[in-house]
Amino acid sequence: MSSPAKVLFIGIDAADKDLILEWAAAGELPHLNSLLETAAWGVTQSPVGLYVGAIWPSFYTGVSPARHARYCYEQLQPGSYEVKPVSPREVKHEPFWDALNRAGKRVAVIDVPKTFASRLSNGLHIVDWGSHDPDVSGFAAWPASMAADIEKQFGIDNLHNCNAFRTTGEEFRDFRDMLIQRVRQKTALSAWCLDQGDWDCFVTVFSESHCVGHQCWHLHDDRHYKYDPRLVEIAGDPVKAVYKAIDEGIGELIRKVGDDAHLVLFASHGMGPHYDATFMLDEILRRVEGDPPRQRRASLVPLASAAWKLLPQKVRHFARPVRRKARTSLGLEQSAQTPRRKSFRVPNNDAYGGIRINLAGREPKGLIAPGREYDEFCEALSRDLLAFINVTSGEPLVKAVLRSADLYEGDNLHYLPDLLVEWNRSAPVEEIYSPNTGTITGTYRKCRTGDHTPEGLFFIRGPSIAPGQMQEQVSVMDLAPTIASLTGVELADVDGRSLAPLITAQ
């Protein structure tokens, strides 16, 4: 029987590369382990400083964030001080499956994060059936008539948004089991779609590795400041349990396509303890500019903030304008103050802080002139940030302050933060000090105990591929042109390059 797919792509969202390699070697992930023997494989690099929100759009477009312009779930709208949620439809470059579709290829796409359902003429596209941080528009399918069938056969995702304050071992155990169940259902859904057969390119992504890493890192990492053996006694290591379930799912899908197909597997980015100071960055910038310490207003504010995060994502989406008004009138909303600030924090997830300079000619009420004044301001601000010490560890708070313009090139560079703050993430941050600014304290109030690290892994296996480790790191932007070239299509106008010539057997 011929293979149901010529190219099978499997993504494992935010499955940490070091854990994969460690657990594969220990025999815990047998299918991933066998790929280390049979595939060309290596380490991937993701967009520096912006990778958390840019990695999947960079994967599926093959271009840098300075071109596709998507790096966070909410972004500053250029030409204003307004921050708005970003829809997948705003990604400013086409996904590679649209090019394959135009070339007459039959393509299936399942749950690639941050996408909308493409109208693939001879294919199918399932969006957010079960993914981490789904878009507010929720589960969608193309052809649309598939959606009801999928719900009937495979159910719907009861988890939706994984963020919640879990405290007991039983809550973490139940969460682990829900994720494992979702892995099994995702495997069944993918197998069902695969069985429709004759796919030139079949793309599916497991996201449970992402959810479990954010929510359960402190049950995995016994050096984490929230590690509690009483929770581990009941819930075990949920990270390992979920990775093992995904490995089983991978095995099942690989068996279906056999050895004649090309397989591309991608573990997108990593996970480590959630130690950073992004939650303090706005206060840091205010204090550097000489503002007095922010008064802790009502003690109800943190409570209200925690309650807000517990609301379903859809409710939060529609209630956001009302909340913003209330926060503005209380003086809590950052945008109420940005026009008079020289620099201000912009959303960029948590792993790197994002800073916008209030630039004359670009921002509506810009205060810093372009050219020399901008350069000098950036240098002075970088020096100020590098002077902070994390009092808990005694180490510098900031490893580096990077300029987006030094890292990226593209028509949409103006969408990106000007500066990217690379935190020293060796210890939790609660109190920081610099000689210029004095002491600043704060508390991280979100539920996540794990957060991202930049490197990932790729594996490519197939009849024409020479197995072995590639020493050189490859860019995540190389994967779309590689997948396309394995189906016989050359992607035009991308920043990545096909890896096929490097890994093809001579």
CB of 211 to Zn ion, least distance (A): 3
Give the residue from 113, 131, 269, 135 showing the smallest Cα distance to 208. Answer: 131
Residue 157 or 384: the one with the smaller Cβ distance to Zn ion is 157
Residue 105 or 132: the one with the smaller Cβ distance to Zn ion is 132
Contact 401, 385 (CB under 8 A): yes
SS3 content of the chain, % helix, strand, coil (to 5): 40, 20, 40
How would you class 386 by CB atoms within 10 Å of its CB: exposed for 0-12, middle for 13-18, buried for 19 or more?
A: middle
Contact 479, 266 (CB under 8 A): yes
Q: Extract the tokens encoding 131.
A: 């993914």
Give the residue from 11, 456, 460 showing the smallest Cα distance to 202. Answer: 11
Strand partners, 8: 202, 263
Q: Please state the separation of Cα 342 from the chain's center in Å.
A: 29
CB of 47 to Zn ion, least distance (A): 14
Distance CA 137, CA 135 (A): 5
Which residues lie near Zn ion (CB under 5 A)? 132, 162, 211
- Note the maximum CA span of the chain: 73
CB of 51 to Zn ion, least distance (A): 10
Residue 221 or 363: the one with the smaller Cβ distance to Zn ion is 221
CB of 14 to Zn ion, least distance (A): 6
Distance CA 489, CA 226 (A): 49
DSSP run (H or E) holding 450:
strand 450-453
Contact 480, 310 (CB under 8 A): no
Residue 162 or 491: the one with the smaller Cβ distance to Zn ion is 162
CB of 487 to Zn ion, least distance (A): 29
Residue 50 or 162: the one with the smaller Cβ distance to Zn ion is 162
Residue 12 or 491: the one with the smaller Cβ distance to Zn ion is 12
Residue 132 or 287: the one with the smaller Cβ distance to Zn ion is 132
Residue 270 or 496: the one with the smaller Cβ distance to Zn ion is 270
CB of 220 to Zn ion, least distance (A): 15
CB of 451 to Zn ion, least distance (A): 7
Q: Where are the alpha helices (DSSP H) in 1-87?
A: 17-25, 30-38, 51-61, 65-68
Q: Extract the tokens encoding 150.
A: 């999928």
CB of 159 to Zn ion, least distance (A): 7
Q: Please state the separation of Cα 356 from the chain's center in Å.
A: 21
Distance CA 323, CA 203 (A): 38
CB of 57 to Zn ion, least distance (A): 14
Residue 178 or 391: the one with the smaller Cβ distance to Zn ion is 178
